[in-house]
Amino acid sequence: MTQKIKTAIIGSGNIGTDLMIKIAESSDVLDVGCVIGIDPDSEGLAMARARGFATSHDGIEGAQKLDVWNDVKVVFDATSAYVHAKHAAICEAEGKQMVDLTPAAIGPYCVPVVNMDAHLDAPNVNMVTCGGQATIPMVYAVTRVSDNVPYAEIVASVSSRSAGPGTRANIDEFTRTTAKGIEDVGGAAKGKAIIILNPADPPMIMRDTVYAFSVGGDKDDIRKSVADMVADVQAYVPGYRLKQDVQFEDFSGNNKLYIPGLGTFEGTKVTIFLEVEGAGHYLPKYAGNLDIMTSAGMGTAEAIARKRFGLS
């Protein structure tokens, strides 16, 4: 049996707890070493203790006092953007790999199906946001078969019940980081991101809408590229799917598209409707935003472990 790499999860909220369960139940190369929080009564820490994992309710400083901390090679940060810099500095000083699930974006952006191999040597990789993990692959699917994409916009709608305090505190960072990821990873010249926390009861499944303006792209090529990318994402998030066929609207001649601040363009507006059903590891399956984020983070950490520590 392959020896597993010890990991630490900072953050015992929705994302951290879902990640803990996912690693414990499905990873062949990662092992949960400890779970770190700041609320001794949190459900996530209680679940970690019930599974026999070491825990700290005194943050990363408390975790450093745990016997298992010295064995930890990979640290996941599932807290919030404003405290990630402190966690990153501590882990970098101790030579621990950081996988950042906050929108702090200190390290390079990583969207596994687009640029997994590009940053496996970086000491800190950023998983953008749940909305970014869902939509950036679709933007890239359009840009890779177009001459250029001058503008792309995404709207990520998630159940309010799936958004914990860390997510709510990071709304501004979510929009900025996702928009930048649309540009840097998705390949659009200009990106915009909007998040909606939907309070509907019963809770709604994660839904995402992607608008990308393609210059020089063939519609059949775009359809195939999108379908191929959906299949690639489904390899680690089976509940990721198109809600309906890709939509096209042409702009040319006297009907050019004017984008404020960018200019006038001829081309095709591509609209892609997605939904993401979660695996139900922690919250019910409507919380696809948890599943796509933790699956991407775990997959990236596994790839780093295989390359850096020689695991098979």
Give the residue numbers marked as catalytic: 130
112: burial class by Cβ within 10 Å (0-12, 13-18, 19+)? buried
Angle subtended by helix axes 130-143 and 219-234, to nearest 10: 140
- Which tokens is 39 given? 């609320």
Residues 121 and 127 sit within 8 Å (Cβ to Cβ): no
Helices (H), the chain: 14-26, 43-50, 59-63, 81-93, 112-115, 130-143, 165-169, 171-184, 219-234, 288-309
Cis peptide before 165 (omega within 30 of 0): no
Angle subtended by helix axes 288-309 and 130-143, to nearest 10: 80
Cross-strand bridge partners of residue 98: 75, 124
312: burial class by Cβ within 10 Å (0-12, 13-18, 19+)? exposed
Category of 11 on φ-ψ map: left (φ > 0), alpha (ψ -120 to 50) or beta: left
Residues 97 and 74 sit within 8 Å (Cβ to Cβ): yes
Residues 86 and 24 sit within 8 Å (Cβ to Cβ): no
Task: Return d(Cα 50, Cα 241) in angstroms, integer.
Answer: 34
